[in-house]
Amino acid sequence: MSRPAEILLVAGARPNFVKAAALERALTGAGLRVCLVHTGQHYDPGLSGVFFEQLGLPEPNHHLGVGSGPHGGQTGQIMAAFEPVLFKERPRVVVVVGDVNSTLACGLVAAKAVFEDGSRPLLAHVEAGLRSFDRSMPEEINRLVTDAVSDLLFVSERSGLDNLLREGLPQEKVFLVGNVMIDTLRRLETQARRSAVAAELGLEGVRFGLVTLHRPTNVDQPEGLRRLVAELGRLSRDLPLLLAAHPRTQKALAAQGLTGLKPPGPEWAGEGGLALSGPLPYLDFLGLMVRAAVVLTDSGGVQEETTALGVPCLTLRPNTERPVTLSQGTNQLVTRLEELDLALRRALTGERSGRLPELWDGHAAERVAAVLKDRLGV
Ligand code: UD1
C-alpha cells in the first residue's frame, strides 16, 4: 500500500488552480507527497478542465463535484463532501489557497478535525492576510474566517503581515513568502506570448483593452450592468475592447437582453467596438494580457498579474485587498463609472512603470514547501 499523503491540497475555483499549480510542483519537487482535491465549485470546462491541462496540474485524487449554489448551500455542501475525504486521507497538513468559498469550507473542516489517534492536521492558508476592509464582499468573510482558524499563514505582500499581526495572530504562524500566482505566470509567460489567440482575433499589433468583470457588485444589478456596458461601448469607439466574460457575467448579460455585443473575430479589431467572448483559457488570457494597452477588471488576481507584467490596470471597485498593486504596481482604482473615461486616457498616455513587489520572483511556492518541510521535520 502506498504511504499516505503528507499534504492535502485543495482547489475549487479558477484562481485557485493557478496557485495550486505552483504549489503542487514545488511541494512534489521538495519530496512531499501531495493529494489534490477539486471541490467542483467551478465546473465549466472553460473555468476548470482547460486550466488543469494548461497549468500541468495532475488529475485530482478526489473530485467532490459540488457545483454552484447560494453561499450557505455551496459552502455547506463542500464541507459535507470534504470531511470524509479528509478522514480517509489523514494528511499532516491541509493547504487551502485564496479566498473563495472552497477555501473557507475546507479550512473550517480541517481546523476542527481530530483523527482517531488524537492527532489533528495543520491548516495552512496560502495568500493569507489580504483585507479589503469591506465585509459586504463574500471573499472578505472567507479571508477573515480562514485566517482566524489557520495554523500557518503564508502571505503574498507586506500588508498581509501587518493585517494579521494587528488582528492578533502570533508572529511565529505568519510567513511572508511572495506570490505563488506569479510563480505560475513566470513559468508559462514565454509559452503564453506564443499563443495564437491575438492573431486569431485580429489583435496582433493592434492597440486594445482587455476587460474582465464578474463581481456581484458590478454584474448582479441590472441597471448598474447596463450603464457599465454602455460606457464600455462608448469608450471602445477609440480603443477596441474585448470583454472575456465569466459565466456569471454571460448569464447576467443574457438576462438583460444585452446580446448585441459582437463576438471577436479576425476583422473585429479593424472595426473597433466592444466584443464579447466567454472565459478564456489561461495561456490565451495571459497572451492577451501581455499585449494589452490596458486591462479593466474587478478580479483580484488580474490586479497582481498586470503589476507583474507592467501593464496598466484599472480596477472597477471601490477598494482592493491588494494595496501593493497600487503603491508599487500599475493598478489604479476606479470607484465611480464617471471617472473611467479620464482614468483610461491617463493610463494610455502615462508611463508604463511600476516596481515588482518584494518576493514576487517566481519562487514563492518553494518557500512554502521549505517551511512545511521544516514544520513536518522531513
Ligand atoms: C468565485 C469566487 C471569486 C473568484 C471567482 C473567479 C467565491 C465566493 N467567489 O466567484 O472570489 O474571484 O470565483 O472566477 O468563491 N458558474 C458557472 N460555471 C462555473 C462556475 C460558476 O456558470 O464553472 C456560475 C454559477 O452558476 C453562478 C456563478 O457562476 O451563477 C457564481 O459561481 P461561484 O462559484 O459561486 O462564484 P464566482 O462568481 O465564480
Specify whether the CB–CB gap between 269 and 263 falls below 8 A: no
Q: Where are the domains of the chain?
A: 7-178+360-376, 193-348
Closest CA to 313 of 335, 297, 324: 297
Q: Is 246 in the pocket of ligand 1 (CB under 6 A)?
A: yes
Q: Is 43 in the pocket of ligand 1 (CB under 6 A)?
A: yes
Cα(85)–Cα(61) distance, integer angstroms = 10
Specify whether the CB–CB gap between 306 and 265 falls below 8 A: no
Specify whether the CB–CB gap between 272 and 44 falls below 8 A: no
Read off the pTM.
0.96
Catalytic residues: 214
Whole-number pLDDT of residue 1: 54
Confidence band (pLDDT; 50, 70, 90) for 270?
confident
Task: Tell me the three cell numbers of residue 152.
Answer: 500557518
Strands (E), the chain: 7-11, 34-38, 62-63, 93-97, 122-128, 152-155, 174-176, 209-212, 241-244, 274-277, 294-297, 313-315, 331-333
Nearest atom in ligand 1 to the alpha carbon of residue 98 is 11
Cα(156)–Cα(97) distance, integer angstroms = 11
Q: Looking at the domain 7-178+360-376, which fold is it? A: Rossmann fold (3.40.50)
Phi, psi angles (nearest 5°) of residue 2: -70, 150
* Mean pLDDT of the 13-42 span: 98
Which residues have CB under 8 Å from 177's CB, separation 6+?
154, 155, 156, 359, 364, 367, 368, 371
Whole-number pLDDT of residue 81: 98
* Mean pLDDT of the 302-322 span: 97
Cα 147 to averaged position of ligand 1 atoms, centre (Å): 21
Phi, psi angles (nearest 5°) of residue 103: -60, -50
Summarised one tens digit per residue, pLDDT across range 115-165 is 999 999 999 999 999 999 999 999 999 999 999 999 999 999 999 999 999
Cα(168)–Cα(162) distance, integer angstroms = 10
Whether 7-178+360-376 shares its CATH topology with 193-348 is answered yes
Q: What is the CATH number of domain 193-348?
A: 3.40.50.2000
Helix (H, G, I), strand (E, B) or coil at 294: strand
Nearest atom in ligand 1 to the alpha carbon of residue 300 is 12
Cα 219 to averaged position of ligand 1 atoms, centre (Å): 12
